[in-house]
Chains A and B, each alone.
Chain A
Amino acid sequence: MSLQLFLTIILNGLTLAALYFIVASGFSLIFGLMRTVNMAHGSLYMVGAYIGYALWEPLYDQDAWYAWYIGVLAGMAAAAAVGVVMQKTLLGWMQGQELRQALVTIGLSIIVADQILAGFGGNPRQFFAPDAIFGSSYVPGVGRYPTFRLFQIGVAVAVGIGLWLLLNRTKVGLMIRAGVDDRAMLSACGVNVPVVNIVVFALGAALAGLGGVIGATAQPLAQGVDGRFLLISLVVVIVGGMGSITGTAIGAILVGLAEQVGQALFPTYSVILTFVIMVVVLALRPQGIMGRAP
């Protein structure tokens, strides 16, 4: 394998990891604070992507340069809105009943998938990135490389830094971190925990929506992506450790690299490599790489 091919594959892995990180960070955030295993996270990804698409397409037809950015905002807003409704009407009052929440969110994901199929049909769709980030750029050691994939890394880094600042430097972040440690005490201190929950859920869902639009620009958007991204989020978060942003980043990089290296070396069995990583982590460090021991 030539050095150039090796570097290309590593870069492919990192850019894919960036997408996985954006989606999985929302999943990890929701789990970290509320212990809610949101099995409808993939549906939020799909809602964001399809609603974003519905707003993007007419604008793109008019050659509006801002079409894609509107798509991103619409996707995030739509996913956040669905997330708020979910938390307010369904998950809020079954707080702490993990199995019940898991089953309810699985049910929701089936309903959402069918509604999207009814509304948008089965044909695959795809966003086109704005001209500024379309085409390819020169990367030393690699050569021409799709600009959008590099852009994905930028977004992921921004999301990572943004989340870190939010959690560590703001009052909301303080409440969220306190809630992770002791919800009852936080509530006793006069913080309206249900409102904090809704804010966190909206944020996590918006990240899924952001991932949806970015993912649907890099790969086709079709029925079934919800299940795929839910599975990836689960694996990333299990490997990285529940509720840790750094852990999610490490998990995403491992899974993204495994997928691309596997595809280059042994394509048929590349899927297995991802799960081998998960099995090894679960065997040696069940709480995940950056997870805190219970």
Chain B
Amino acid sequence: MSIRLSRRYALKGAGALAVTAAAGASLKSPAIAQNAPIRIGSVATLEGPFATGGQDGYRAMEMLFQAENMTIGGRRIEWIRESSNAQADVALARARKLIEQDNVDIIIGPLSGAEGIAMKDYSATLTGKTIVNGSSGAADTTLRNPSRNFFRFNTDGTQWMAGLGNYVRRTLNVSEVTVVAGDYAFPYAQVFGFSLEFCRAGGRANYLWSPLGTTDFASQIAQIPRSSGALVVVHGGTDGLAFMTQYAQAGGNLPIIGGSIMADQTMLSARGPHRRLMVGMVAAGPMADVIDDPNWTDFVARYRRMPGAFPSPSIHAVNFATNTMAVIRALKEVNGDLSGNQANFQRVLAAQKFKAPTGADVSLDHNRQAISDIFLTRIEERNNQPMTVAFQRATQINQTLGTPEAAFLALGAPSRTNTGCIAAS
């Protein structure tokens, strides 16, 4: 008994010593502030449904930091990675930990929609800290109640649909579509972006919503009106796979128009009858596997050299890369100087204009939200491998899709009942 007790005390003592030593070290660091490291924290989903996406985002960040030799303006970059699980409260707790315990200067993250809104709200309470988005795409992160400390250099879910509605109505000459979509925030935003254009161009749309995680779509498929000229599918992951498989099995043959996360590798790498319908599917989004642009070719080549890289970067790798590029560029411009509560750094960051990995020009609007290019993509089989190929580019799409901001806000937030389908007057 006495041995156990004394061992425990010894351990405690050692622990206390270690803590004191650590505290001592951190107290000393301001004395060499000149070359103190720049502390950059990051939050991405390394757990939960988007774990591979989070990993890929960090892969892209690592690639960009390594290209700078982990040093900017003579200051070393100290990168502290945190993980979330796509839940807003978890992302918020990790962001707090980065700011309060790790004392980071800048956070890059998070990955998913609700997390983004939580971190935007948190950033508004901070002084002298900057949060730059990772890959989250909810519109309201920057559209309503924006925070002066939150910057987003990637486009949002509504922007991603730019050009698709007009393409379906005018180029494909389809006058009525049926939209099948998940019943949650991200599909609302995507459907809103599609419908706004499609209905304004004189199209009519029917909507069939289903909760996230639905696996049997048979009865919904039976309800698709025969008058539909195309099917707009705004599902992702297993929901999308289940829907497409069952639609194919039910003998469905309408042309398929996809949301931005329909054409990801979950759908393309899975085998099954859905593939027959997916080849030729037109979708819109911020990137494609094949983009005829030297910036993209170069980025993909560098990305593929990273350990564990996919044949083609995911949407999350591209978004994290775009945001990280902005931070690196701004830090270089201020020569690593974050003094004055980062006021100068934030001013320089907001004024960044550069080419994203896809070759799209990126700049920020007054809400610090990206204005950039959106690609129309088509799925083609190349070397027996289905991939998305960009065939058209809508340039410089802003967050309100060209509508004056006041008028866009007056339309209200996208929802199941507010689909954005308003016929031109």
**Could you tell me which A residues sit within 8 Å of B by CB distance?**
5, 8-9, 12-13, 15-16, 122-126, 128, 135-136, 144-146, 148-149, 218-220, 222, 228, 259-261, 263-264, 267-268, 270-271
Contacts and interface: CB of A to CB of B under 8 A. Distances in A.
A12 B242 contact: no
Contacts of B213: 228
B271 interface: yes
22 contacts: A8-B219, A8-B222, A9-B222, A122-B52, A124-B238, A124-B241, A125-B270, A126-B241, A128-B273, A136-B251, A144-B251, A146-B250, A219-B216, A220-B270, A259-B216, A260-B219, A264-B220, A267-B183, A267-B210, A267-B211, A268-B211, A270-B211
A124 B304 CA distance: 24
A123 B270 contact: yes
Contacts of A260: 216, 218-219
A177 to B, nearest CB: 34
B180 to A, nearest CB: 10
A67 to B, nearest CB: 13
- A9, A125, A145, A220 — which one has the most chain B CB atoms within 10 A of its CB? A220
Given A123-B266, A128-B272, A267 B208 contact: yes
A122 B50 CA distance: 10
Interface string B248-273: 01110000000000000110011111
Interface of B: 51-52, 183, 208-211, 213-220, 222-223, 237-238, 241-242, 245-246, 249-251, 265-266, 269-273, 416
Nearest to A145: B250
Contacts of B246: 146, 218-219
A126 B272 contact: yes
A136 B251 CA distance: 7
- B51, B210, B219 — which one has the most chain A CB atoms within 10 A of its CB? B219
Contacts of A148: 249
A145 B242 CA distance: 17
A203 B216 CA distance: 27
Given A123-B269, A126-B270, A12 B219 contact: yes
Contact of B271 (A126, A228, A263): A126
A148 B183 CA distance: 28
Given A263-B214, A267-B209, A268-B416, A146 B249 contact: yes
Nearest to A259: B216
Given A128-B271, A128-B273, A145-B250, 12 more contacts: A123-B265, A126-B271, A126-B272, A136-B250, A136-B251, A144-B251, A148-B249, A263-B210, A263-B220, A264-B222, A267-B209, A268-B209
A160 to B, nearest CB: 21
A42 to B, nearest CB: 14
Contacts of A16: 216, 218
